[in-house]
Every structure is written in structure tokens, then in C-alpha cells.
Structure 1
Amino acid sequence: MVKRKRRMSWVPTHEEVIDKAFRRAKRVAMGIWTSTRGSHIYRTKKTEEQRVLTAWQVMNDKLKAITENKIDFDELHPFYRDLITAKIDVRRATTCYRRIEWAASKILEIRKETIRKIRRSRMKEEIIRARREFYGRSSSILRDISDCFQLLRDLRQILEDLPTIDPEREVVIVAGYPNVGKSTLLRKLTKSNPKVSPYPFTTKKIQVGVTEDGIQVIDSPGLLYREKKNWIEKQAVAALRHLKGVIVYVFDPT
């Protein structure tokens, strides 16, 4: 089990993948055309074949980088898993990893088909058409999974924003209703400067401070007495449910 929070590498948008693939392919194609000797049709074949191979390589590298760095939610500490689940559908994220793997496999299949077409072609128009078809079909596949690119970009930001806590060490959890002074207590105990917002939920996310003795003190978002919790309250529930230590319940008797 992973004790600490995970990090993800940068996830591009589907437009960024397409743009980079085609721009690099164009640069490579210009060099191939200039350096290749032979008939016009031979040079066209070599140029367009390399353009397809280069565009595919960029797409494949980008998709592979995402899937090879995928988050295994089952390996995360339950505390971190619940924090992530409060803001994103992890089942959908897992499905997105599979969809991206499928996209990479499908684009590879189209690349092989396109190279065969180019090599069999006898006319320049056929060669150009084959390459354009590859561009169109591969772009369409990437557009079809654009929602997955965005979801995983959101997941990456969520991971970046997670509090840095050692969930295996005992902590002091400051809990209670919103706007009762929990953040003030954290500030007094740890000299930290927690960020708060206007009422009703002054603390929007878990904030952590450390005392001079090295004790982790957690300021959890306020909890209201109701069955259905919003994503802010779910963070407090995750801390109370999965972190071990002392709970300091703060209330305002006035």
C-alpha cells in the first residue's frame, strides 16, 4: 500500500497531442524530401511514409506516457483514495486508462494499414490520400477520448492539491461544525497560516500543520449534521475515518 500521495506526469489535451504530432511530422517530411534521391513518386512515398511514422510515434509516446504512469487506486491509502473520490469518479478514471490504451492500439493498427497503402500506391494522389486518411482517423480517435484527457488532467491537479500527510503516523484531527475556530486553533498550535473562506464552509480543504514536537495537526473542513455530504465535508469524513490519533472536537457554545 502506498503511504504517501502519488504524483502524475503532465497530461496534455487531445489538441496538444494532435498539434505536436502533425507539426513534428511536417518538419521531418521536409528533411526527407530534400535528402531523398530518385523519382518523384519514390520521393513522395518516402516522405509521406515518414510523415505517418513520425506522427504516429508522437501520438504513441504521449498516450504511452499516460498509461505507464497510471494511478492504481487500490494501492493508495484509504485516506487518500477517499479524498480523490470526493472530487472525481475513480471508476471512470480507470475506464479512461483503458480507453487510452485502446486508442494507442487502434492508431497503431491504422498506421500499419496506411504504410501498406502507401507502399502499394502507384500515383501521388493515392499516396497523399492515404496519409490524409491516417491523419483524419487518428485525430478522430483522439477527439473521441478528449473527455478522458480532461478527466486525467483534473485528476493530476487533485493529486497535486492533496495534503502531505503520513497516514501511518498518529495525528491530531481538529473537527467540528463550520466557523467555530478550528483554523484558529491550528494556527495557535502549529504557527501555520491556514487559508479560510467566507461562511458557511470557511475551510475548503484539509490543512496540515506540525507542532514543535513534530506532531501532525489537521484542520478538517466543517461538518454539518446531515446524511448527504458535499465534497468539502467528505474530506473531513475521510480524515476521521482513516487517520489514527486524537480527535479534538471544537464547538461554539454561544
Structure 2
Amino acid sequence: AEAAAALEARLKLRQLNLSAQRPSEGELKARDSSLKKYEAARRKLVKLGDERERSALLAELPRLNLSKYVEEVALAVAEAPLKLKDVVPAAELCSLMHRTYATFTQALEPPLLKAATALPPPPPRPGAAVASEGESERTARLLRKRSALRLLFELVAVGVLPSPKRPLGALRDVMEEDTASAAEATRSGEPAPFGNLQVLQPFVKYAAAEPLLASPPAHAAARAAAGGGNGGGEAGGEAGGE
């Protein structure tokens, strides 16, 4: 029952996002657009993985006019340290921004793609004082890749990103990174590192079980399974067709 309710909520969110009714310029002007309020909101964005901060921000956003700060908000979301459990609520926040500011999605996708495909730094030159990526830096980079990749596809699932083409390209890049490193290890007689295993394993599990990443008939089946009936056709471009 809990899983069905969660799926139904995400289906409703998808419908809202695909037929976004954004506030008019006059409605936005009636909101608070002060730098002080933006800075307070940005401090919460940095802590997007904190449930209390995120809930407070979701409650506050409808009272703010962040038109001048859309790119900064998008970058803060892309750089926020998220755990996998934070991805769905983070997508809710992105959905609200998407339904308020027409430029938010196009500002968000590039930094998310960059985070999802972040490569390790090149090996240091012989005699260089700076060491290569340490274990803590590597762990942080991989955790960011994992959450960014998941968030990209969650945004496809809930209708914020109009197409899966670029997220699929990011997924391909992550897989090819491991393929290339495995080939290099084979040539040198070393064990294949598969550095992105902790990124790819949970993603494969998620994607295999995620009905909202499937075709329109699967969306209808998911809606029926969630108890939502046929729900009518989906507005806007279809996200699952490529």
C-alpha cells in the first residue's frame, strides 16, 4: 500500500510537470525577491539532503521570486550532497522550480550531467608535489556521481526533463569509462578496477524496477496498479520513448 501510494504521488507529480501552469510575471512580482530571502533559501539548498531544511524550503519557495537567481539555484541543486534516499524529495523541489521558472530545467541539466560523469583527476606528473585523488575525494566524487545520475533519471521519470537522451548519454559515458579502464588493466595484466561499480549497481536496480521510465503503456499500467485508473493521456512530450 505504501509503495502504491508513493507511485501514485509521483504519477500526479509527473502530470503536473508535463502540463506546468507557471505563474504570470505579475504574480511573481508580488512575491519576495530580496537578496536576503534568496541567500536564506540558498543556505537551505546547500543542505538539500537534510529533510528539515528541504521541507522548510519547499514551504518557502511559493512565497519567493527567484527569477534573478534561477541559474544559481540550479547549480546549488546539482552540487548538493545527496544520498539516494534524498533523490525523490529533491526531484519534488526541482519539480516546483520547473513549474515556476521556465528556464530552470535547462539551467539544471548541464551541471547535473557534469556531476554524473565526473572523471578522476589525471595521474600526477613524476615528481609533482600534488598527489593523485585520495580515497576520501574518490568516495565523495563517486557518491555525487551516483546521486546525480539517479536524479537525472528521476527528473525524466517525473516529467521535468523532457527527454532521456542526454541522461542516457551520461549513463553511456559512465559505462564506457569502466570499459576503457578494464581494457587498460587487461593489457597491463592487472585486475579490472571497475571504479564506477557503486554508481552503476544501484542505478541498474532502480531502472529495472522503475515503471515511470518505461513507455506510455507502462505508465498506464503503473497508474492502474497504483489505483489511479486510466488517468487520461499525458500532456506534453513523452519522456520514455528514446
Q: TM > 0.5 between the two?
A: no
Which structure shows the higher helix fraction? 2
Compute the TM-score of the two structures, normalised by the length of structure 1: 0.24
Compute the TM-score of the two structures, normalised by the length of structure 2: 0.25
| Structure number with bigger Rg | 1
Which structure shows the higher strand fraction? 1
